[in-house]
Structures are given as structure tokens and as C-alpha cells.
Amino acid sequence: MKINVELKSVQTIEKQEEKQIVKTKGEIKNLEKGTIIEFVDKKIKYKIIILQEKIILNKNKEQMIFETNKTTKSNIKTQYGDINIIIYTKNIEIKKENGKIVDILLNYQIKLEEQISYKNKVEIKISY
């Protein structure tokens, strides 16, 4: 099913906020064990897999896994090389209207290379 996607992200590093907003069109598929949302923005391909207890975010070939009150590890590729990250998910909220997902909220902490740590908040709004 075709959807409109608005992804807002806020990173807070030492009391400074960096915001990003993506507005685009995508597709949502409801499967037996979860939901898949796919969209592309500026050549970046996003695939969000929503399962019972976790969310898997694939951004191009990078993967981040979010599970409430759990720590996961990931690796992101930059122009300067690979960076190992640790993700601690504080909470995940999924809002539905008439059985359809309309809002996803992720609050998590990222730690880069066991050094720099910062807060993240991602909100994904979906309209049909």
C-alpha cells in the first residue's frame, strides 16, 4: 500500500540539537509477523521492519536494531571509515488508528566507539 512518510530525527550532543526532516512517499506491507515500511530519500534507501518487540532499521546497507530497555551493537560506514556503535533503546511507541500504523516514536542513546554518547529521538509519521 502506498503511503506518505515524514521522518523527524533529533540528535542531542552536549546540549546542542541537530534536526533532520525527511518527507517522501513509500510503501507499507503488513505481514503475518510484522510490518515493513520502505522509502527512498536522496538515494538513501530505508527499510523499517516492525516486529512484536523490536524495530529493525536498514538504511542502505547499515542496520540498527531497537528493543526497549536493551542494548544492541551496530556498525555504520562513513567517508572516514567504519564506526562501531552501541544503541540503548529507552522506549518504542507505535500508534495505530483503525488498525493502521500512523506514528512510530523511538527514543534511544548512541555511543560511538565506546567514547562519544548522545541522545536520539526519531518520529515517523505515516499517512495513507
Percent with pLDDT over 70 in the chain: 100
Pairwise CA distance, residues 49 & 36, whole Å: 5
- C-alpha torsion 106→109→54→69, nearest 10: -110
pTM (whole model) above 0.75: yes
- Residues 63-73: pLDDT tens digits? 999 999 999 99
Instruction: Kindly report, residue by residue over 117-126, the tens digit of the pLDDT.
Output: 889 999 999 9
- Average confidence (pLDDT) over 2-30: 95
Between 7-11, 15-19, 111-115, the lowest mean confidence (pLDDT) is in 111-115
* CA 47-112-20 angle, 5° bins: 50
Domain boundaries, the chain: 2-66+92-107+120-127
Find the mean pLDDT for residues 38-54: 94
